[in-house]
A and B are shown apart, each in its own frame.
Chain A
Amino acid sequence: METLRKKIVAASPVPIPSIDDSLTFFRSLKKPSMVDVLKDAKVNHKLLFQARSGVGDSDEMKLMLSTIAQNESPGIATLTIDSLTRNNQWQRLNELREKGNIAQLNGFPLVTYGYYVGRSLHEHTPYPIQVRHGSPDATILSEVAYASGATGFEGGGISYNLPYAKNVSLAESLHAWRYVDWLTGMYQSHGINLNRETFGPLTAVIVPPSLAIAISLIESVLMVKEGVKHISLSFGQTGVLQQDMATAKVLRQLASKLLPTAQVTLCMHMWMGVFPRSIQLAQMFVHYGVKVAYACGVERVIIKTPVEAFRIPTSGESRDALKFCQKIKCPIINGSVLGDVEKEVYWLKREVEELLLPLFDAPDLTDAIVRSFENGTLDIPFSPSIHTKSRVVPLRDPTGCIRYHNFGQLPFSDSVKQHNYNALKFRLKKGIPIGKLLQTDIHYISKLSEADIKQRIEVL
């Protein structure tokens, strides 16, 4: 890995400081790390709210961080990275910068600005900085992020490749992310607590929770192998309370079994699919999302704003959304929901175990992952990648829960298949084409009425 590091540093379009220099910078930071903040949330049963934030211009980015920081409770600041940096398109980024068009980017081009600018961002927020992106090869980005004092880094070799890229082989992205995990572990061995987070939402649209859980756990096992100690397992809100609560419960149960040495926290992404186009309904759905996060017992929720359906929010809109979320009280869970949750937990856990069993029996986990995606025994629906079969087709059952309609080659038992079939048979018997059903399901949240959302909020 040391040899690989030399190659990565040499290939970087910007200087990367020595590890010692970065260690000194980390130690000089007068703020808690992301691990500290999450530990506090876990111990004190707090829910942290985190907004996405990333713009192309560095002054705007600083303003965005300081604006978002104007809320009452401690949280985590985000640097969302732009699409060109995610794909290591350094030349294109330089052209944009030279032409004065860098502000058009959909996120912050941290590598192009370099670690000096990265370090200067800390002056604009009292909170630890986490880098969120979507890069199949984040080797250079991770170097610059850690050199900039970021104490959290999102992504993994599966979850930041197959939902994000067309033609990056899985072997290649797993290799690149092994480096990111090694680098994280190396800083950790010097006493710098860094958080690594999986990207559970995957393609973010009606992804069956068992696939999302399985992939998060696989990536976490790989992280631990490289010395990572602090892991956030993330998942996307499905929009159905019992399925979201079950997802959180199964994640915790299996994490304690598979990651016994890691400090694990959970992070829920508020619904990432199509959002209601009415500001009022969107606000209500954000309200519901906070209550669901409380019900799931997660330590952190990545929030959405009411303008989600229209555009990327401004810093003021993100700050206001954080303030709005912080005012919502922890609900008392209606006992009638709990029975449904336990049923979901049973089947969800079975599905995840059936997905994972063949992998953890294999002599080499990385090889087994590559082979599984090649033969379809692991799969991601709606993937843009040519390196996964993408044969799995999900649908919502009449209660809204996400089920498997087409299993592709997933290694499920007959009873798991029958359970999914039973859940969907009512909708399927009407003979509506699958394309139409999928459209309906993808718009399931955006088409909810005011009464529907109110009813959901009232259950909590």
Chain B
Amino acid sequence: MTQQRILLCVPHSDCHVVVNKLLEIGLRELGHDIVNLGVNCSSREIAVGIEKYRPSVSIITCQNGHALMDLELLGENLKSFNIQAQEIWIGGKLNTTGGLGHSDRSFLSQMGITHIFDESDDLSMVFERIALISSERSVCHG
């Protein structure tokens, strides 16, 4: 298993940091290199972060239900930095009504999100997915 660089952030209007901090502590304890942009990150700040740190995975966590609104320029910003084929995951309360419809999922996918964790997903599912990527990369490298 290889150690990965993982970027963590919370969208622009959201200040809920607990899941973000838990991921930081838990992933760091597993030896991963963590870049935590923290809360209130604009789409541009997220794109700049991905461009600058080149993480294996970026994880966006949300709690205030504004994610769809806050991330509407993410796709555009990623494109402006020519960022492609990046693992960008998102999870938490993404809208105010609970549960994501097909159009919401498709919107997030267009914005560059490659995996959506449902609200019912435990944090352990994030760790499992990171472990999977780590083992895949260690096979590739080795």
Contact at B66–A106, with CB atoms within 8 Å? yes
Task: Decide yes or no whether A430 CB sits under 8 A from chain B.
Answer: no
Closest to A274 in B: B18
Show the binding face of B for A, using Cβ within 8 Å: 10, 13-18, 20-22, 25-26, 28-29, 38-40, 64-66, 68-69, 93, 95-99, 119-120, 123-124
Q: Which 5 A-B pairs have the closest CB atoms?
A: A311-B98, A435-B26, A384-B17, A384-B39, A83-B13
Selected from A89, A167, A435, the residue in CB contact (under 8 A) with B29 is: A435
Alpha-carbon distance between A137 and B127 when the two chains are bound, in angstroms: 37
**Main SS of chain B's interface residues?**
loop
8 contacts between A and B (CB under 8 A): A84-B13, A105-B96, A106-B65, A163-B15, A166-B38, A307-B98, A433-B26, A438-B22
Show the binding face of A for B, using Cβ within 8 Å: 83-84, 87, 89, 96, 101, 104-106, 134, 163-167, 203-205, 273, 277, 307, 309-312, 382-384, 386, 433-436, 438-439, 442
A83, A134, A204, A277 pick with most chain B CB within 10 angstroms: A83
Selected from A84, A96, A307, A384, the residue in CB contact (under 8 A) with B15 is: A384
Alpha-carbon distance between A112 and B95 when the two chains are bound, in angstroms: 21
Tally A-B pairs: CB < 8 A: 87
Contact at A382–B69, with CB atoms within 8 Å? no
Selected from A203, A277, A310, the residue in CB contact (under 8 A) with B17 is: A203
Closest to B119 in A: A310
In the complex, how many angstroms separate the beta carbon of A434 from the nearest chain B beta carbon?
A: 7
Q: A311-B98, A436-B26 are in contact. Are A165 and B40 (CB under 8 A)?
A: yes
Cβ contacts under 8 Å, A164 to chain B: 15
Selected from A166, A310, A435, the residue in CB contact (under 8 A) with B40 is: A166
In the complex, how many angstroms separate the beta carbon of A393 from the nearest chain B beta carbon?
A: 9
Cβ contacts under 8 Å, A166 to chain B: 15, 38-40
In the complex, how many angstroms separate the beta carbon of A273 from the nearest chain B beta carbon?
A: 8
Closest to B124 in A: A439
Contact at A442–B96, with CB atoms within 8 Å? no
In the complex, how many angstroms separate the beta carbon of A73 from the nearest chain B beta carbon?
A: 29
In the complex, how many angstroms separate the beta carbon of A215 from the nearest chain B beta carbon?
A: 17
Contact at A382–B29, with CB atoms within 8 Å? no
Alpha-carbon distance between A442 and B15 when the two chains are bound, in angstroms: 18
Closest to A277 in B: B120
Alpha-carbon distance between A435 and B66 when the two chains are bound, in angstroms: 27
Cβ contacts under 8 Å, B18 to chain A: 203-205, 273, 382, 442
Cβ contacts under 8 Å, B99 to chain A: 310-311
Known: A83-B13, A104-B66, A277-B120. 13 other contacts (CB 8 A): A83-B14, A87-B40, A89-B13, A96-B69, A101-B69, A104-B69, A104-B96, A310-B119, A311-B93, A312-B98, A433-B26, A435-B22, A435-B28
Contact at A311–B97, with CB atoms within 8 Å? yes
Alpha-carbon distance between A115 and B109 when the two chains are bound, in angstroms: 40
Alpha-carbon distance between A434 and B28 when the two chains are bound, in angstroms: 11
Cβ contacts under 8 Å, B119 to chain A: 309-310
Cβ contacts under 8 Å, B25 to chain A: 434-435, 438
Alpha-carbon distance between A383 and B21 when the two chains are bound, in angstroms: 9
In the complex, how many angstroms separate the beta carbon of A91 from the nearest chain B beta carbon?
A: 13
Cβ contacts under 8 Å, B16 to chain A: 384
